[in-house]
Amino acid sequence: IKRTFRAIYSFDLPDLAGARLVSARLSVYQRFVQGRPFNIMGNLVVDHINMGAAYNNAAWAAFTIATIRDADGEAVPISDSSALGRKTLEVTAQVKADILAGRTRSQYRVRFELDAPDGVLGSDLVNLTSVKAIPFQAPELILTVVEP
């Protein structure tokens, strides 16, 4: 049995009303690591997705726009170690693309580079905070804008 775990984050985009987006960063909190997930499944990477208002089983697997990559085409990890704490990834190009496409949300899927191999049944995992219940651990889309 192969097991695949993903986290989905959806952020409402503000009306920038002529302001210019300078930068955008996705920030999540890695709060728990069990086992050796990075040794087994690689780094945590981020897919820019467009699932609209849907939040269902199909959203876990579909709607990928693109995995966030560097200039050499390598997936850029948001986390590559068991170190706990805030993890941040530059997503300026993705937010600009969302704005240009007229989307009202900027959405991301965090996943390991590799699916869990057969026999790994949740014993190797990472927990990212996914709710605002713990304010200093809440996921964030941090926008820097310049007013007109």
* Mean of pLDDT values over 84-103: 94
Query: pLDDT at position 2, please?
Result: 56
Q: Which helix (H) or strand (E) holds 94?
A: helix 92-100
For residue 135, pLDDT over 90 is answered with no
Closest C-alpha to 46, from 78, 70, 24: 78
For residue 144, pLDDT over 90 is answered with yes
Pairing of β 20-34 and β 125-128: antiparallel
Query: pLDDT at position 58, please?
Result: 65
Query: pLDDT at position 23, please?
Result: 97
- Is pTM beyond 0.85? Reply is yes
- Segment 21-72, tens digit of pLDDT: 999 999 999 999 998 999 988 999 999 998 877 666 665 565 777 899 999 9
CB neighbour burial string for 67-85, b if at least 16 within 10 angstroms, e if fewer: bbeeeeeebebbbeeeeee
Query: pLDDT at position 110, please?
Result: 93
